[in-house]
Every structure is written in structure tokens, then in C-alpha cells.
């Protein structure tokens, strides 16, 4: 079940609020001795997060399917940049040697002891989750609170360094799709965007100058602007090597891109970008690269 981006800020007691986490969405299933962990695109994640597999395998309940978010914490704040150091690793030995600890915040239960729980109200599912899972080590329960009458406490969440809040209808069922029963309230404007090209580096910069970004709308890739900040030297080199393997002769965008001497690439990579706002002509203002999203299919990226 996916949340819908929203500008709504006022709620009532029919809603609950959770912390919005900046990580990798993951479902986990235990069936006796077998534990599966997979992304929202169906990609197997067990090899990259062996400590989570071990913690799930040690649970007192032998059969369950749970939903949550894998994050890397920098203090009490989630760091997507830190998590990037684990996301690409598929070797348990390398993952353990990375030095980056991960935490799996669970917020829902989809099945328990062979019983489908998706038709139960959200608050009942969360109660079952809290009672069934032994939260210790890398497993944490995602706390919630009843929404106060009036404005949601988004400012306080932002001041605490959170990415935002998730507002959920207390009586909502778990649906296998995006739903307005779950709403994303973001502190900083953020967007997943498709990489459609890049520019050459200037001066002493390595790798590339900027990434050319877009989103799908009306059957074509719309140009959303370019991002040239948020990269360290290692990322510039590594990403350029990947981009060189995707080079194509023509533009993947369905409109003119006002950039001199661009290099076009197959629109397969998805970047997570922070920015201040959308301009009137549909461009990003002050964008900043946060990392690649390996869990998001490029064909599903639209403007939020």
C-alpha cells in the first residue's frame, strides 16, 4: 500500500499520524525457517541485509508478513545518503563490513499465522503487530498517535529533523495500491525523477556536470530541469561509469531541452532529489541530488 502526496494539513480523530521515514520500503515474510525480504518492485533483499533476516528469523511467531521501511540512522535522523552505502551491496560479508548499521521500522502486518489481516482496520493491525513482534536490535515499531483536531504538527516534525509525517485513516484497510487513505506530508519538497541525460564537467570537476531529469506525463518524458549539486567525487566517477553504459543518440525527452551539448541516456535510472519548489514553467528550483533509487521503476515516476 502506497501513500499519496498531499498538501492537506488539517485532520481529526479519524486519522493517525506516523513519522515519515526516508529509506527503502520493504516487505518481510517468515514461514518457519524461511525468511524473505523484498522491495516494492519485488527485488530480493535478503543478501544485502543479513542482520534483518536474522532478527526476523528469531521471532517467537513462526509465520507472518510485515511491512516497513529500512533506514540508516544518523543519530535520530534518517540518512538516505548513508543508506546508499548499503543499498548496492548484495554480499552478506560486504554488507556486514560496510560499517553502516540499518534499522527496519515496521508499521503494518499483512498476514499473521496464516490469516490475512488486510481487511482489518489499521489500528487493529498495528495492535497485532505490536503484540506479535519482539522489537529489539535492528527491528523497531513505528509509533503512531491520533491526529489532533486542526493542523497536523508538521512544523514540530520538521524541526526534529524528520522527513515529514504520514497521515493514515484509522479504519483503513490495507490495499495493494496507492491510496488517499494514506497521505504523505513532506517537510522538504522531494521528488523521484528519471535521469535522461547529463552534461560534461567544467573546470576541475570530475565525472559530469549535471544530470538532466524528467518525469512521465501523458505518455512522454517531461523535462524537469538539471541537478548539479549533492555529489561527492566518488559518486561523480561511479555514476558516470553507469551513465556511459546507457548512452543513446537521441533525446528520451518529449520536448526540447535547453542545454548545450548534452549526452542522452536510456531513461532507466531514478534519482531522489530535494528542491525548494516547482517554478511556473515546470522546472525544479534549487535541486539537490540525494541518491539513486534502486527500488523505484523508472516507468512509474510521475510528478507528485
Q: Determine how β-strand 211-217 pairs with β-strand 220-227.
A: antiparallel
pLDDT of residue 189 exceeding 80, the answer is: no
Domain with CATH 2.40.50.140 in the chain: 190-300
**Range scoring the smallest mean pLDDT among 97-101, 249-253, 277-281:** 277-281
Q: What is the Cα–Cα distance from 20 to 232, expressed in whole angstroms?
A: 26
Q: What is the mean pLDDT of residues 214-230?
A: 96
Domain with CATH 3.30.1490.70 in the chain: 1-18+145-187
Domain with CATH 3.30.470.30 in the chain: 22-141
Give the class (CATH, top level) of 1-18+145-187.
Answer: alpha beta
State the average pLDDT for the chain. Answer: 94
Geometric angle at alpha carbon 29, from 24 and 33, rounded to 5°: 130
Q: Determine how β-strand 139-141 pairs with β-strand 10-11.
A: unpaired
pTM of the model: 0.74
DSSP 93-117: HHHHHT----EEEEEEEEEETTEE-
Q: What is the mean pLDDT of residues 22-29?
A: 95
Task: Note the CATH architecture for domain 22-141.
Answer: 2-Layer Sandwich (3.30)
Q: What is the mean pLDDT of residues 176-202?
A: 93
DSSP H helical ranges for the chain? 50-57, 80-87, 92-97, 122-132, 154-159, 233-244
pLDDT of residue 303 exceeding 80, the answer is: yes
Residues with catalytic roles: 20
Determine the pLDDT at residue 95: 87
Cβ atoms of residues 246 and 266 within 8 Å? yes
Determine the pLDDT at residue 201: 95
Q: Which residues make Cβ contacts (< 8 Å) with residue 196, sequence separation at least 6?
A: 212, 213, 214, 221, 223, 251, 252, 253, 257, 264, 265, 267
pLDDT digits (tens, 9 = 90+) for 132-169: 999 999 999 999 999 998 899 998 998 888 889 999 99
Domain 190-300: give its CATH superfamily: Nucleic acid-binding proteins (2.40.50.140)
Amino acid at each position: 500500500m502506497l501513500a499519496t502526496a498531499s498538501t492537506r494539513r488539517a485532520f481529526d480523530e479519524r486519522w493517525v499520524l506516523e513519522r515519515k521515514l526516508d529509506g527503502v520500503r520493504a516487505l518481510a515474510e517468515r514461514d518457519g525457517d524461511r525468511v524473505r525480504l523484498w522491495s516494492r518492485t519485488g527485488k530480493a533483499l535478503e543478501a544485502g541485509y543479513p542482520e534483518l533476516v536474522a532478527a526476523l528469523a528469531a521471532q517467537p511467531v513462526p509465520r507472518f508478513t510485515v511491512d516497513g521501511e529500512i533506514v540508516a540512522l544518523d543519530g535520530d535522523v534518517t540518512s538516505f545518503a548513508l543508506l546508499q552505502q548499503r543499498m548496492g551491496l548484495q554480499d552478506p560479508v560486504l554488507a556486514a563490513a560496510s560499517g553502516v548499521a540499518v534499522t527496519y521500522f515496521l508499521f503494518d502486518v499483512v498476514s499473521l499465522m496464516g490469516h490475512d489481516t488486510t481487511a482489518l482496520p489499521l489500528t487493529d493491525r498495528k495492535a497485532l503487530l505490536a503484540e506479535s513482534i519482539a522489537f529489539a536490535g535492528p527491528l523497531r515499531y513505528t509509533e503512531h498517535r491520533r491526529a489532533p483536531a486542526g493542523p497536523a504538527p508538521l512544523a514540530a516534525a520538521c524541526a526534529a529533523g524528520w522527513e515529514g509525517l504520514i497521515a493514515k485513516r484509522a479504519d483503513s484497510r490495507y490495499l495493494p495500491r496507492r491510496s488517499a487513505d494514506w497521505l504523505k506530508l513532506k517537510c522538504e519538497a522531494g521528488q523521484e525523477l528519471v535521469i535522461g541525460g547529463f552534461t560534461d564537467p567544467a573546470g576541475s570537476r570530475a565525472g559530469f556536470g549535471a544530470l538532466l531529469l524528467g518525469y512521465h506525463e501523458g505518455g512522454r518524458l517531461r523535462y524537469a530541469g538539471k541537478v548539479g549539486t549533492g555529489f561527492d567525487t566518488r559518486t561523480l566517477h561511479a555514476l558516470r561509469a553507469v551513465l556511459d553504459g546507457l548512452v543513446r543518440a537521441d533525446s528520451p525527452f518529449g520536448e526540447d531541452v535547453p542545454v548545450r551539448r548534452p549526452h542522452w541516456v536510456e531513461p532507466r535510472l531514478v534519482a531522489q532529489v530535494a528542491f525548494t519548489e516547482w517554478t511556473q514553467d515546470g522546472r525544479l528550483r534549487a535541486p539537490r541530488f540525494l541518491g539513486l533509487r534502486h527500488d523505484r521503476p523508472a516507468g512509474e515516476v510521475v510528478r507528485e
